[in-house]
Structure 1
Amino acid sequence: MAGPPIVAVCEDDADIRELLAAYLTAQGFSVETAGDAKALDRVLARIKVSLVVLDWMLPGENGLSICRRLRANGGPPVIMLTARDEDGDRVAGLDGGADDYVSKPFNPRVLLSRVNAVLRRAGATVAIDTLTVADLVIDPDGRQVTLRGCEIALTAAEYDLLLCFARAPQRVLSRNQLLDATRGRTADLFDRTIDMQVSRLRRRLDEAGSDVAGLIRTVRNAGYMLAAPARQR
């Protein structure tokens, strides 16, 4: 089975870059990140990406220049991400070869819809693979979680949280990243309900007899981590 589309996020603001990486990963994409044109060029030389989310205002070569260069060389589709919202700037970005344009501040779900639309036009789709984590099988297409063939009943929030962990295994995820990945910008950045959701997810998995309950680790002053690999099939 072909892997998921690879999205390169080129953004010099580390917080926005990591937010987008966590959110798009949770939605089933493989994500590469870069902070400037040189870093993006290294990504593109190493791997074939399906789409670039490109910030306009970058140190060194700006996003518009990069977009023109990518288009001239037959590069991947580009979505410009920028605080510039004047009509003239929008036209310049599209004339420069951008396939779409999203203005800051933005809701990640809006960007996700644009990414999916551009990929559909380019003939790419998100591959939805079954994920196996320890003794659990997670089916993103059917939104089902099974343990030794028996379905575990999870709430929508619990399922989204588990899927987020499974798509970023053995990686520390901050509370803000988990909130953004599961609820988008509608979440209060100081909202601590993620702690309660993690606690409920652990309890639900423990009651079902899953080993994964003990594999969702708290990382002090950092967030949470699924301390187990995930396999796709």
Structure 2
Amino acid sequence: MDKILLVEDEKRMQEIISDYFQVKDCKVICVNQGKEALSILEKESFDLILLDVMMPGIDGFTVCKEVRLRYETPIIFITAKSDEEDQLYGYELGADDYVTKPFSLGVLYAKVNSLIKRAKGTIIEDKLKVNDICIDCKKLEVTVGGEEIKLAPMEYRMLVYFMRNKNQVITRDQLIVRLWGYDFEGNDRVIDTHVKKLRKALGKSGKAIRTIMKVGYKLEVATNEK
């Protein structure tokens, strides 16, 4: 049984989503505020988080940012905010998908089911190492040449994806689907922006992320490590 955390301050919306998903054999835990969500995540693990943006106290964007600093749990925003700028901001913070109200419960369930299957099908290594770049996946720590560096949530996820697919050409479309989801409506320039930020954070080691013209990128392993 999949376990879902629903962070939504509207009681009626809680009931509608919770009832529907329970029929689908999902366990839904409902909380009203962002502070409650962060508190319960310290005690329990979930397969996915459904997160409203507009809530009293800590808003959904802040909750998403805090969650991504510590957890890889898939996140879907549920919100009335349909502006492209808000959606792009949500993706940048590490959200996996975005559903605007009103929405189809069937479509929402399909998105939830797909994300959970994808997350469960991913093997999470304890540590990743390419050249002098190391990631401790449990601690979410990145070091370059033994020195710890800080990455924004999206750059961290992008680096993990590159390292798990080292020496492989990754298209911009693949990156968009993996990091933002199938329904992302922006353009691929957002990928180039995040790659630029990632390279800068990695310093000289960022040169290992090669641009493949008109296709995408490839993280090359040093000759002595192949």
Query: What TM-score does the superposition give when structure 1 sets the normalisation length?
Result: 0.50
2:101 paired residue number: 104
What is the percent sequence identity of the aligned residues?
31
| Structure-1 residue corresponding to 2:120 | 123
Q: 2:139 is matched with which residue? A: none
State the alpha-carbon separation in 1 of the partners of residues 66 and 37 from structure 2. 12
Structure 1 residues 160-190: Cα deviation after superposition (integer angstroms, max 9, x where no partner): xxxxxxxxxxxxxxxxxxxxxxxxxxxxxxx
Mapping 1:148-163, distance limit 5 Å: none
Q: Deviations over 1:94-145 (max 9, x none)?
A: 1111010000011111110110111121016xxxxxxxxxxxxxxxxxxxxx
TM-score by length of 2: 0.52
State the alpha-carbon separation in 1 of the partners of residues 66 and 38 from structure 2: 11
- Contact persistence 1:68–1:97 (CA under 8 A): yes
How big is the shift at 1:89? 1.1
Q: What is the alpha-carbon distance in structure 2 between the residues aligned to residue 46 and residue 25 of structure 1? A: 22
Report how far residue 70 of structure 1 moved.
0.4
Query: What's the offset of the Cα at 1:84?
Result: 0.7
Picking from 25, 35, 38, the partner of 1:38 is 35
Q: Which stretches in structure 2 are left out of the alignment for 5+ residues?
A: 122-226
Moved over 4 A (4+): none
Counterpart of 2:78, as a letter, is L
Segments of structure 1 that go 5 or more residues without pairing to the other structure are 125-233
Which residue in the other structure is 1:25 paired with? Answer: 22
User: How many residues are aligned here?
Assistant: 121
Q: Match of 1:39, SS?
A: helix
Instruction: Work out the CA distance in 2 between the residues paired with 1:108 and 1:81.
Output: 11
Q: CA deviation at 1:55?
A: 0.1
- Choose the corresponding residue for 2:48, options 22, 41, 51: 51
In the alignment, which residue of structure 1 is the partner of 2:62?
65
Q: Secondary structure at the match of 2:19?
A: helix
- Give the secondary-structure state (helix, strand or coil) at the position aligned to 1:88: helix
CA distance in 1, matches of 2:37, 2:118: 23
Q: Distance in 2 between matches of 1:75 and 1:61?
A: 20
Q: Aligned pair 1:79/2:76, yes or no?
A: yes
Give the drift of 1:75.
Answer: 4.3
Deviation at 1:40, TM superposition (A): 1.3
Cα distance between partner residues in 1 of 2:117 and 2:67: 20
- Aligned AA (2:9): D
Match of 2:2 among 5, 12, 17: 5
1:41 Cα deviation (Å)? Answer: 2.4
Q: Tell me how far apart the structure 2 counterparts of residues 64 and 99 of structure 1 sit (CA, whole Å).
A: 13
State how far apart, in whole Å, the 2-side matches of 1:64 and 1:122 are.
21
Cα RMSD, aligned residues only: 1.2
